[in-house]
Structure 1
């Protein structure tokens, strides 16, 4: 089946998309941010379910719903709105709206609203294409198809009955070790929808403060709704766990060095978790590939990791509009820019070099740049 979503906030649109796919993995979901584009998409190919925000930058979502009703009285319509007054509901009563989703919304309530509509709609599952080449698939991926897998422990907690949170600090404590959560919330906090002042956001706590509890919880629960949210394949899971463990070890060493160097560790912690984003994004694609029954041998996977990890990481940094300061910290894990004098990037490089077993002269040089005693003097 085909689902058309009209929502100008790309993060909310993606969340609605993930909810639809969690309930109907075979659905083809088309997200549009402008009324005119949604109307054009509807005319090109009608959908079996339409979800529309009420107010859009270029007009009113009711225009789309009216166009649908001119063609069919049976297609389920869902209105997303912050307006819940009686007059507004009565004004669109002739459209026979199937469900209203009130903003700010809670994911479980949205799932409960959409589930019967998707169950009753005509679902035509497409044939799985078992042909093709994984390396070619990687080269043809669009940026919005790239994601990071959740850690299994957090995924299970998100899939369980949601627990109430008293404050943002509790969320930060729960999510602080997950790269996918850091990436999603920092990217959202730096987007135009949540960053009207243009101030860069580089840490999880900054992102939580900017997004607020309700939005942050919705975005993270959306990650858990993806059909392939974790690395369930044993081989891929082992590789993913190795990258997760490396990130946590890097964070721990950064905390120790930052205290001695008088550097704020929080931005470096974010960079540590995102250092292996390219590898994790590639493993996520490998999980999707194998989940459809297609073969992917270890040699091809190793080749893909060598050829494409760095490229995927760079694409994600640009697509998520990560701040330059955060990109530089991530890059410092591999090398320092010529003439670098920033202590935070030196600390980042030093921690990474120590974990990777760099030669003693290089470690001593980096410690001097960080204002620390030489290795032998510790």
Structure 2
């Protein structure tokens, strides 16, 4: 039985998106590695003295003092620990300083992910590892329960979105349009914009445009690359690919319904569109977990997959929304597609509930009642039902 190699790894990097990306690179190389990230030398040193590490990745430019202060300690106390310097400055003086503290490798920013992976694998002198069927041969329900308890969730990065996340240069306008049409970047960027690392005044950011403006295009692109590096992010099994398409189409249909309703009701459509794109967050996150199981040697069956998705998607979706720090109003809009709290009067939430009912072919009388609550008259209600229901299905 083979086991994936794992290491204790410290990442000293003050850019949270870059630290997250490097963490994904390490886990992609060595499944099960314990990765700790730090933004300043004092906190990194405290952890080092208590736990040490097999590999340290250290940025040159840090708040207070540069990364060589930390590398110097590691060099003196643990010569067998591998040390890698990361810097956007590659002039001669930086290289000289890095050599003084015995670095094993130097990575220049900006970098290509595959180049970094190859460089780190060579430094650690082990091949890139992956999960094997022998290591994780267990029933899908058991695997999902264990992975959900671990709480390491993500969303699939597939198709054009995956090609766009390879680190190459792309037209920013086209890239932003692609991001806003996919749940993974939309949720990840809005969530990141609501964390203290980027949002210093604590103002809730619900708009995709606002989120990208706050983060900056380069940071946003780094975060998307990090998503693409997560295990299972690349959905490869045909059955799982079909399920991803099905759930993405559900979101697109909800978005179309919500847009139509919002415009007719005189409400801004963007908040509803954002919520619609996150409608199947839980299912998509579970499919990423199932792809990890498939990579480990499992063979999925449609009936079992759908059963497990129905069982776990609500919990996983809620955990991921909280984990990624999505703002409360956005989470409530997403929840409204499944159920509406009694006494709700906010138009955006009623719109999302109507859209959810239409998608699930819910009670038509309830839809008519809710349409009336957002100001539709009899003719508008009939026109909406004509638009979204065949005559044989209308009440």
Residue 112 in structure 1 maps to residue 115 in structure 2: yes
The secondary structure found in structure 2 opposite 1:228 is coil
- Report what 1:185 is aligned to: 189
**2:257 aligned to which of 237, 253, 257:** 253
- Report what 1:65 is aligned to: 71
- Report what 1:12 is aligned to: 18
Would you say how many aligned residue pairs link Structure 1 and Structure 2? 370
Residue 155 in structure 1 maps to residue 162 in structure 2: yes
- 8 Å CA contact 1:20, 1:27 repeated in 2: no
Which stretch of the first structure deviates more once superposed, 200-209 or 33-42? 33-42
> What do residues 82-131 of structure 1 show as CA deviations (whole Å, max 9, x unaligned)?
666776665554113344556xx4342x6435533422422165874133
Residue 355 in structure 1 maps to residue 362 in structure 2: no
- Report what 2:175 is aligned to: 171
> What do residues 36-78 of structure 1 show as CA deviations (whole Å, max 9, x unaligned)?
456545764631x320235667976445422331255565422
Deviation at 1:32, TM superposition (A): 2.5
- 8 Å CA contact 2:104, 2:123 repeated in 1: no
Residue 146 in structure 1 maps to residue 153 in structure 2: yes
- 8 Å CA contact 2:60, 2:85 repeated in 1: yes
Q: Distance in 2 between matches of 1:38 and 1:118?
A: 25
Deviation at 1:80, TM superposition (A): 3.6
Residue 51 in structure 1 maps to residue 57 in structure 2: yes
Q: Distance in 1 between matches of 2:130 and 2:270?
A: 46
Q: TM-score, normalised by structure 1?
A: 0.86
Residue 286 in structure 1 maps to residue 290 in structure 2: yes
> What do residues 153-184 of structure 1 show as CA deviations (whole Å, max 9, x unaligned)?
3213434x72343x5x4332122211111111
Deviation at 1:33, TM superposition (A): 2.2
Structure 2 runs not aligned, ≥5 long: 1-5, 385-395
Q: Distance in 1 between matches of 2:89 and 2:169?
A: 27
Which stretch of the first structure deviates more once superposed, 33-42 or 351-360? 33-42
**1:317 aligned to which of 321, 324, 327:** 321
- Report what 1:78 is aligned to: 84
Deviation at 1:226, TM superposition (A): 3.5
Which stretch of the first structure deviates more once superposed, 280-289 or 305-314? 305-314
Q: Distance in 1 between matches of 2:333 and 2:211?
A: 18
Q: Distance in 1 between matches of 2:130 and 2:48?
A: 20
